[in-house]
Structure 1
Amino acid sequence: MKITGIGVEVVSKPKAHAVRDALQLLDRDGHTKVVIETDEGITGVSDTYFGRVASSPAVLAAIITDQLAPAIVGDDPTLIRQVRQKLWRLTDYQGSTGLSLFGISAIDLALWDLLGKSLEVPVWKLLGAQRTSIPTYAMVGWLELDVPGLEAVSTKAMEQGFRGVKMKVGGGPLSEDISRIKAVRAVIGPDAPLMVDANQAFSYSEALRRGRAYSDLGCEWFEEPLPAADTESHIRLADKLDIPIATGENRYGQAQFRDLITGGGVGVVQPDLRRAGGLTDCLEIGLMAAGFGIPYASHGGGAHIHVLAALPNTIYVESGLLPPDGRVELVDGCYPLPLEPGLSSWSH
C-alpha cells in the first residue's frame, strides 16, 4: 500500500459560546481536516482543532499541503514512525515544533486511522489495550462563568455521571479563586475529584502561594501553574508543594518532557495530541512517564482515548459535558472505548 495523495480542508468561524481562562479568550471554532489517500482505496482522517486565531487553520493547511504532503506521497502509510522521522528531518531547518509539529501530528493521527481501517480494528486494539473504558472528568469551570453559572454546570456534570470536574483559576485574586472552589465543592460533594487549572498564569512565588491554598482546599491537582517552558521552576515548585503539579499540554515533542519528568517537576503528565507529535509521541511520552511511576491524564479527549486505553499509568480522559443527543453514556464514570475501525471516538 502506498500514499497517493493528501487532502486538506479548513474551517474557521466564531464560536457560539466563547470561553475564558486566565490568559486568553477562546472564541473561535477552527479545524484543519487531513485526509490521506492510498492506492488501495483506504483513507485515513484527522481533525486538528484551533480555539483562537482565525488564520491558524489555513496556515497549518499550507504547511501540510506545500511542505509535508509532497514528501510522503509514495511512502508506505503503515511505516508510521518512519514517516515521523522523515518529517522531523524535513522541518528541522525552520523548527520542527510549533505549527510544523501540528502538521506532523495531523499526519501521524491520519496514518493511525488509516492503519486501523486497513486492518478493520479500532486503534486501541493495535496498541495493546489493557482496559475497555477510561475514567473521565468534566472540564466545565471556565472563568467567564459567575458563581451560579459554575454551580449549575458542575451540578450538570455530576448528574451526567462524571467522576469529578476541573475549573479555571487565576482570573482574579486568590480570595476569588477560593470562593469559586468552595462553591463548586459544595455542589459536587466532598469526595469527587476537583482539579484547578491556571493556564501558565503565575510567577513562581504566586504559584507557590496559591498552590498551598489549593492544597488546603483538597484539590486533586494544580495544572499549568507556570509558563510551560520553565522546567527548573516546575521542579522547584513540585518540591515545595504537596498537591501534584499537572502539566504538558504546551510542550512540544518527547524531548521537552524528558528533563521535566527526570527532574521531578511533574506529578501528572498531560500531553496534547497536536503539540506532542500525535498519537505516536503521546504513547511514547506516556510510557516514559510510566517508567518513573508518573500518572498520565490526557489534555482533551477525541483520539487520545486510544492512547489512554493502552497506557499502564492512565488515570483520566478530559471531556466537556456530554452531547445533548444522548449518543454517549458514561458507565461508572468512564467512557467506553469505540468499536469502529480506526480512530473513531466517543470522547470530545
Structure 2
Amino acid sequence: MRITGIGVEVVSEPKRHAVRDALQLLDRNGRTRLVIETDEGVTGVSDTYFGRLASSPAVLGQILTEQLGPAIVGEDPALIRQIRQKLRALTDYQGTAGLSTYGISAIDLALWDLLGKSLDAPVWKLLGAQRTAIPAYAMVGWLELDVAGLEQVSARAMEQGFRGVKMKVGGGPLTEDVTRIKAVRAVIGPDAPLMVDANQAFDFHEALRRGRVYEELDCRWFEEPLPADDTEGHIRLADKLDLPIATGENRYGQAAFRDLVAGGGVGVIQPDLRRAGGLTDCLEIGLMAAGFGIPYASHGGGAHIHVLAALPNTIYVESGLLPSDGRVELVDGCYPLPPGPGLSSWDG
C-alpha cells in the first residue's frame, strides 16, 4: 500500500458559548480535517481543533497541502515513525515546533487511523490495550461562569457519572479562587477529585503561594502553574509542594519532556495530541513517564483514548460534559473504549 495524496478541509466559525481561562478567551470553533488517500482505497482521517484565531485552521491547511502532504506521497503508510522522522527533518529549518508540529501530528493521527482501518481493528488493539475503559473527569469550571453557574455545571458533571471535575483558577485574586473552589467542593462532595488549572498564569512565587492554599483545600493537582517552558521553575515548585504538578499540554515533541520528567518537575504528565506530535509521541512520552513512576492524564479526549488504553500509568481521560444525544455513557465513572476500526471515538 502507498500514499497517493491528501485532502484538506478547513472550518472556522464563532463558538456559540465562548469560554475563558486565566490567559485567554476561546471564542472560535476552528478545525482542519485531513484525509490521507492510498492506492488501495483505504483512507485515514484526523481532525485538528483550534479555539482561537480565525486564520489558524487555514494556515495549517496550507502547511499540509504545500509542505507536508507532498512529502509523504509514495510512502508506505505503515512506516509511521519513518514518516515522522522525514517530516521533522523537512521542517527543521523553519522550526518544527509550532504549527509544523500540528501538521506532523495531523498526519501521524491519520496514519494510525488508516492502519487500523486497513486491519479492521481499533488502534487501541494495535497498541496492546491494558484496560477496556478509562476513568474520566469533566473539565467544566471555566472562568466566565459565576459561582452559581460553576455550581450548576459541576453538579451536572457528577450527575453524568464523572469521577471528578476540573476548574480554572488565576483569573482574579486568590480569595476569588478560594470561594470558587469551596463552592465546587460543596457540590461534588468531599471525596471526588477536584483539579485546578492556572493555564501558565503565575510566576514562581505566586504559584507557590497559591499552590499551598490549593493544597490545603484538598485539590487533586495543580495544572500549568508556570509558563510551559520553565523546566527549572517546575522542578523547584514540585520540590516545595506536596500537591502534584500537572503539566505538558504546551510542550512540543518527546524531547521537550525529558528534563522535566528526569528532574522531578511533573507529578501528572499531560501531553496534547496536537502539540506533542500525535499519537506516536504521546505514547512514547507516556512510556517514558511510566519508567519514572509518573501517572498520565490526557489533555483532551477523542483519539487520545487509544493511547490511554495502552499505557500502564493512565489515571484519567479529560472530557467536557457528555453529549445530550446519549451516544456515550460512562460506566462506573469510565469511558468505554470505542469498538470501531481506526481512531473512532465516542465523541467524534
TM-score, scaled relative to structure 1: 1.00
SS at match of 2:293: coil
| Alpha-carbon displacement from aligned partner over 1:56-82 (angstroms, at most 9, x marks no partner) | 000000001000011110000010000
Q: Residue 19 of structure 1 aligns to which amino acid in structure 2?
A: V
Once the two structures are superposed, the pairs formed by residues 1-348 of structure 1 within 5 Å of their partners are 1-347=1-347
The alpha carbon displacement at 1:98 in A equals 0.2
Distance in 1 between the 2:130 and 2:347 partners?
A: 18
Q: Give CA-to-partner distance per residue, 1:119-157, whole Å, 9 cap, x none.
A: 000000000001000000000000000000000000000
Counterpart amino acid of 2:102?
F
Deviation, structure 1 residue 31: 0.1
Give the aligned residue type for 2:270: Q
CA distance in 1, matches of 2:342, 2:21: 33
Q: Measure the CA separation in 2 of the matches of 1:302 and 1:130.
A: 18
Shift of 1:346: 1.2
Query: In 2, are the aligned partners of 1:303 and 1:347 still within 8 Å (CA)?
Result: no
Q: Using the TM superposition, give the Cα deviation of residue 243 of structure 1 relative to its aligned residue in structure 2, in angstroms.
A: 0.2
Tell me the CA shift for residue 347 of structure 1: 4.2
CA distance in 2, matches of 1:63, 1:326: 37
Q: How far apart are the structure 2 equivalents of 1:205 and 1:5? A: 51
Distance 1:156 1:316 in 2: 19
How many percent identity over aligned positions?
A: 84
Q: Match for 1:63: what amino acid?
A: I
CA distance in structure 1 between the aligned counterparts of 2:189 and 2:319, rounded to whole angstroms: 20
**4+ aligned runs moved over 6 Å, structure 1:** none
Please give the alpha-carbon distance, in whole angstroms, between the structure 2 residues aligned to 1:327 and 1:305. 16
CA distance in 2, matches of 1:346, 1:298: 16
Q: Amino acid of the residue matched to residue 285 of structure 1?
A: I
What TM-score results when the alignment is normalised by the length of structure 2? 1.00
Contact 1:335 1:347 in 2 (8 A): no
In the aligned structure 2, how far is the partner of 1:223 from the partner of 1:208?
13
**Aligned partners of 2:219, 2:249: CA distance in 1, in Å?**
20
- Paired AA for residue 250 in structure 1: N
Per-residue deviation at 1:325?
Answer: 0.6
Distance in 2 separating the partners of 1:70 and 1:331: 43
Separation (CA, whole Å) in 1 of partners of 2:13 and 2:162? 30
**2:108 is paired with a residue of what secondary structure?**
helix
Secondary structure, aligned partner of 2:265 = coil
In 2, Cα distance between the equivalents of 1:285 and 1:268? Answer: 12
**d(CA) in 2 for partners of 1:347 and 1:236?**
38
- Report if the CA contact (8 A) 1:202-1:226 is conserved: yes
CA distance in 2: counterparts of 1:108 and 1:45, whole angstroms: 10
Contact 1:140 1:153 in 2 (8 A): yes
1:199 touches 1:224 (CA, 8 Å); kept in 2? Answer: yes
